[in-house]
Amino acid sequence: MRILFVCLGNICRSPTAEGVLRRHLQHAGLADRVEVASAGTGDWHVGQGPDERTCRAALARGYDLSRQRAQQVTPAHFADYDLVLAMDSSNLRDLQALRPGTAKGELDLFLRRYGARVDDVPDPYHGGADGFEQVLDLIEDACQALLVEIKGRL
């Protein structure tokens, strides 16, 4: 199974989701059966690591994002991934426009699909440290629900 998380620049929300799900998969003994990646709809940060505030907040909870590098989502991603999860409604619209008609992968809003109290993961980029903590709270909860679905699919 292959899962792709997508946000705007691939330096805050989607790399956080990638790191959180990777650790959950490792603890569940499923890391060798599920591939996880992240990408951005924009190209501003391609090749860069996640935002340092994202890394700091994630590391405080035991998630190491330091090896990740930003990439831009392409139409090919829809053929390569079974599940493409957008971090917010704006990115979902961009992905719907980019998605080829022959795409096999499912496309959805991450939080809406996994039972969160809101649909969109807020973008913490222009805010303070609290925003990065809020993003982690939302993503950790949704990843627990995603893990249940993964176990059911495997």
Give the Cα separation of 138 and 14 in Å (integer): 12
> Among all chains, which residue has been given the structure tokens 């909870």?
61
Torsion angle defined by CA atoms of residues 71, 72, 74 and 77, in that order, rounded to the nearest 10 degrees: 40
Q: Which residues are part of the catalytic machinery?
A: 7, 13, 123
| Residues ≥6 apart with Cβ < 8 Å to 110 | 5, 17, 85, 86, 87, 121, 139, 142, 146
Provide the sign of the torsion angle of the four alpha carbons 17, 101, 93, 109, taken in this order: negative
